[in-house]
Structure 1
Amino acid sequence: MPAWAEAVRGAALALLLAGTAGAVQAQTSDLVSKTQFRVCADPAADPMSMQDGSGYENKLAELFAAKLERPVSYTWFPMATGFIRQTLKAGKCDVVMGYAQGHELVLNTNHYMTSAYALVVPSDGPLAGVNELSDPALQGLTLGVIAGSPPATHMARHGLIGKARAYALVVDRRVESPASDMLDDLAAGEIDAAVLWGPIAGPLVERDHPGLKVVPLIREAGAPKLFYRITMGVRRGEKVWQRQLNSLIRRNKPEIDALLAEAGVPLLDDMGERPLDVGQ
Structure 2
Amino acid sequence: MSKAGRFAVLLALAAASCSTPQPPRRLLACADPNNLPFSNRAGQGFENKLAEMIAADLHAELGYVWWAQRRGYVRNTLNEKKCDFWPGVASNVEMVATSRPYYRSTYVFVTREGDRLAGLTLDDPRLRKLRIGVQMVGNDAMNTPPAHALASRGIVGNIRGYMLYGDYEKPDPPAEIVRAVARGEVDVALVWGPLAGFFAKSSPTRLRLEPVTPWLDRAQWPMQYDISVGVQKNDAQLLKEVDGVLAARAGRIKALLASYGVPVVQP
TM-score normalized with structure 1 length: 0.78
1:124 is aligned, of 114, 121, 129, to: 114
The runs of 4+ residues in structure 1 deviating greater than 6 Å are: none
Pairwise CA distance, 1:120: 0.3
Q: Number of aligned residue pairs: give it.
A: 237
Q: CA deviation at 1:188?
A: 1.3
Assess if the C-alpha contact under 8 Å between 1:115 and 1:227 holds in 2: yes
**Deviation (angstroms), 1:55:** 0.9
Higher-strand-fraction structure: 2
User: For each residue in 1:91-144, what CA deviation from the matched residue of structure 2 results, as whole angstroms up to 9, or x when unmatched?
Assistant: 3220001001121221111111101111100012111x2241222232311100
Per-residue deviation, 1:202:
0.9
**Aligned partners of 1:117 and 1:81: how far apart in 2?**
21
Query: What's the counterpart of residue 78 of structure 1?
Result: 68
What residue identity is the alignment partner of 1:91? K
Kindly indicate whether residue 234 of structure 2 is the aligned counterpart of residue 237 of structure 1: yes
Counterpart among 255, 262, 266 of residue 265 in structure 1: 262
Residues 236 and 248 (structure 1), Cα distance of their counterparts in 2 relative to 1, 3 Å cut:
same
Choose which of 63, 67, 80 in structure 1 pairs with 2:57.
67
Task: Report deviation, 1:174.
Answer: 4.3
Name which of 68, 78, 89 aligns with 1:88: 78
Cα distance in structure 2, aligned partners of 1:175 and 1:158:
34
Structure 1 position 47 matched with structure 2 position 37: yes
Q: Is the 8 A contact 1:77 1:83 kept in 2?
A: yes
Gaps of 5+ in 2: 1-22, 137-142
TM-superposed CA distance for 1:238, in Å, is: 0.9
Cα offset, 1:176, TM superposition: 7.4
Gaps of 5+ in 1: 1-32, 272-280
1:250 matched to 2:247: yes
- Residues 48 and 209 of structure 1: CA distance in aligned 2, closer, same or farther (over 3 Å): farther
Structure 2 length-normalised TM? 0.82
Q: Which amino acid aligns with 1:153?
A: H
The 1:72–1:110 alpha-carbon spacing in structure 2 relative to 1, beyond 3 Å, is same
Tell me the distance in 1 between the aligned counterparts of 2:169 and 2:61.
Answer: 25
Question: Given residue 61 of structure 1, which amino acid in structure 2 is its aligned partner?
Answer: A
Secondary structure at 1:190 match in 2: coil
CA distance in 2, matches of 1:187, 1:135: 22
